[in-house]
Structure 1
Amino acid sequence: MNRHPQLRFHLPELETFLVVIEEGSFSRAAERLCVSQPAVSSRVKRLEDVLRVQLIKRTTRSVFATEDGELLRTAAQDALAGLYGVLRQFQDRSEAARNRVVIAATPMVAATFLPHIIQSYSDRFPDVQVVLRDMPFDMLMANLSGGMADIGVTAMDGDYENIEFQPLAEEPIVLVVPAKHPLAEQSQVTVEMILPYRMIFLDRYTNLREKLSGEFARFGAMLKTSTATTMPTLMGMLDTGSCVGFLPRSMAQINARESRVIVELADFHATRNYGSVVERRVALTSAVQSFREHLHAEFVPLV
């Protein structure tokens, strides 16, 4: 089994040796490396001591490599060229990452609030690549914690460990009913008026369900609910006439049709908070930080 010799020299010593050979002078090598001439001589001597060979010969007029020095120079130049090539790849990749912002947003936010903000940011910072990915809330949070997204834009309920939430807007929750539903004729309704009906919610609206369930309990009633993962599914269920739904006002208005009516609740008030979210433990790049600042400066609720 082949074993590599354990050579205990440092990379600056090898680099200094190569510069001395290239310059043909210890003094010029010292100027190029921005160190003193004794430091250059010391590095070369340490390298020779470790390798136990003479690498450089000096005369009154010149400095040149010995036969062993030429052998080392050829091998070192090839090895360092490969090493520096890899390091340049790492540097280029790091520079690209610093000029890239990956945004994770829930589908409705991605389709409505963000496009014009991303466009205005790209106009201002054309060198920054902005990637927008729409996904369900649970996947959004997983992408943030896993480092696959730099920033999230979504509505949040409650607190999450290691997540920093910065609010953008607060929206009232409204009731959406089919156009032919008995409640559609009312401009306002009360909790007591909606007791007989089944409610449908997006499945992440747990706080809203709990709050409404408490209101139903005051009347001795139990909240009958269905849930949907996505907005199209919720709207499809609502259009069947089998249930009524609760949504933030902007989502309700965006999804308004002749077959759907928005109704205000007189005695039940709830809101959804939209904002940007980032991992507390992650240091934001300048590109991510500038996009977050732009998002909060330019965000305008649709209603």
Structure 2
Amino acid sequence: MSSCDLPKSLLRYADWPALLFIAANYFIQYNRNYSINSSENMINLNLRRIQTFLALAEHGSFRRVAERLNRSQSVVSSHIKQLEEEVGVPLVNRTTRQVSLTPEGLRLAARCKIALVELDTAIKELQDEVQLSKGIVSISCSPSVSTHFMPPIISEFQNNYPGISFYLNEDFPDIMYGRLRRMEADFAIGPKPEHQGDMVFEEILSDPIVAIVPKNLPIGDQTEVTLKELASYPYLAMPSGTIIRKMIEVAFYSQGLQMVPRLEVIHQQTIFSMVEAGLGVTIMPQLSVPKTRGDYRVLRLIEPTITRQVGLIFLRGRNMSPAAQCCIDLVQARLKSHLNS
């Protein structure tokens, strides 16, 4: 049996004493020297002794406990004595006819049972996550990626792993990095971060920046346009602080041009609708362009040509859960297939 397999016998016991006995045996099986020690002042409690103590509380006989645990009576007696020395109070009333717990022993037994149930629950939850039957995946995603590409990816992931809860946050960079630092998101999907030393970036694809113009723009049948040509029309912009806004501002500056937006909006779909309405032109990442085109044209931007790197963003040093790693693999595969299509 592997260390990830919970004994099925554990699930067949309906009575608490037997269940706790099996649970204790299960935990001890994987770490015979496990100790509860969260601070220097805390007592170290060996789980083998706790197992022996709970068995004695159940059976009330050193002999029956020895038979049940397949240990000698001297070992059973030694475990109880050592436990009493560790906690500093008598736990067992010993007579020639029977063994019973002291008031302190009764309190300790009750607490130990609760602790073992909590440990059992934690082990089961971890096993469920490893087996991808339960878990949580939380992602922070750039709107330019999430709008059109994440819905089918999320649908595929949830069809494959229906027991895993999925959370998606559409975020601009500063909020995205904050979520990662606070561990509110497992990972992020977006443009390459700038000046973020605690972030790790894994590129998936290079995303060209394109011009979005109204269909009735008087530029003939040309399929490409220069930034200087676009600058003669009203410009619709994403808000300051977004990576795409910074990239476009740098591009305007590099061409000796000044970018003065006619309108600024937060949502990309709003910009596309405004272009359709003839309110102006804009420059957007290719990934943000809907597959079903509206009443606008998409032109290749030249002079300058601009691209951005899109990929996965992680908080440096953070390990991924099995569910998060499966999601990462799916995101990489689907975005790469889009690149090759």
Q: TM-score interval w.r.t. the shorter chain? A: 0.7 to 0.9
| CA–CA separation in structure 2 for the residues paired with 1:81 and 1:245 | 65
Q: Counterparts of 1:1-303 in structure 2 under 5 Å? A: 10=45, 12=47, 13=49, 15-23=51-59, 26=62, 29=65, 38-48=74-84, 51=88, 53=90, 55-57=92-94, 59=96, 64-66=98-100, 69-88=101-120, 90-91=122-123, 99-183=135-219, 185-203=221-239, 204=242, 205-217=244-256, 221-225=257-261, 227-239=264-276, 241-254=278-291, 256-258=293-295, 260-299=296-335, 300-301=337-338
Match of 2:17 in 1: none
Moved more, 147-156 or 167-176: 147-156
Report the 3-state secondary structure (helix = DSSP H, G, I; strand = E; otherwise coil) of the residue aligned with 2:255: helix
Report the 3-state secondary structure (helix = DSSP H, G, I; strand = E; otherwise coil) of the residue aligned with 2:154: helix
Deviations 1:142-174 (Å, cap 9, x if unpaired)?
A: 322222221222233535232222222212111
| CA–CA separation in structure 1 for the residues paired with 2:220 and 2:126 | 56
Query: Structure 1 25/7 Cα, relative in aligned 2: closer, same or farther at 3 Å?
Result: farther
Unaligned 5+ runs, structure 2: 1-40
Whether contact under 8 Å (2:144, 2:287) holds in the other structure is no
Aligned amino acid, residue 156 of structure 1: K
Work out the percentage of aligned pairs sharing the same amino acid.
22
Report the 3-state secondary structure (helix = DSSP H, G, I; strand = E; otherwise coil) of the residue aligned with 1:301: helix
| CA–CA separation in structure 1 for the residues paired with 2:51 and 2:222 | 83
Deviations 1:25-65 (Å, cap 9, x if unpaired)?
A: 54664575677755433332244556565824365xx7x32
Report the 3-state secondary structure (helix = DSSP H, G, I; strand = E; otherwise coil) of the residue aligned with 1:214: helix
Q: Which has the higher contact order (CA 8 A, sep 6+)?
A: 1
| CA–CA separation in structure 1 for the residues paired with 2:112 and 2:89 | 21
Query: Structure 1 42/171 Cα, relative in aligned 2: closer, same or farther at 3 Å?
Result: same
Report the 3-state secondary structure (helix = DSSP H, G, I; strand = E; otherwise coil) of the residue aligned with 1:277: strand
Aligned amino acid, residue 108 of structure 2: A
Aligned amino acid, residue 65 of structure 1: V
RMSD over aligned Cα, in angstroms? 3.6
Aligned amino acid, residue 333 of structure 2: A
Aligned amino acid, residue 42 of structure 1: S
Whether contact under 8 Å (1:144, 1:150) holds in the other structure is yes
Report the 3-state secondary structure (helix = DSSP H, G, I; strand = E; otherwise coil) of the residue aligned with 1:229: coil
Aligned amino acid, residue 271 of structure 2: L
Query: Structure 1 270/36 Cα, relative in aligned 2: closer, same or farther at 3 Å?
Result: farther
Whether contact under 8 Å (1:157, 1:207) holds in the other structure is no
Aligned amino acid, residue 156 of structure 2: S
Aligned amino acid, residue 71 of structure 1: P
| CA–CA separation in structure 1 for the residues paired with 2:44 and 2:155 | 53
Moved more, 231-240 or 277-286: 231-240
Largest Rg, 1 or 2? 1
Aligned amino acid, residue 192 of structure 2: M
Measured after TM superposition, the shift of residue 267 of structure 1 is 2.7
Deviations 1:171-205 (Å, cap 9, x if unpaired)?
A: 21111112233346533333333343343332311
Deviations 1:197-237 (Å, cap 9, x if unpaired)?
A: 343332311442243123322xxx43333543221332344
Whether contact under 8 Å (1:9, 1:46) holds in the other structure is no
Moved more, 148-157 or 129-138: 129-138
| CA–CA separation in structure 2 for the residues paired with 1:208 and 1:251 | 15
Query: Structure 1 253/110 Cα, relative in aligned 2: closer, same or farther at 3 Å?
Result: closer
The aligned length equals: 289
Moved more, 165-174 or 9-18: 9-18
Whether contact under 8 Å (2:90, 2:104) holds in the other structure is no
Moved more, 163-172 or 222-231: 222-231
Moved more, 42-51 or 281-290: 42-51
| CA–CA separation in structure 2 for the residues paired with 1:135 and 1:54 | 57
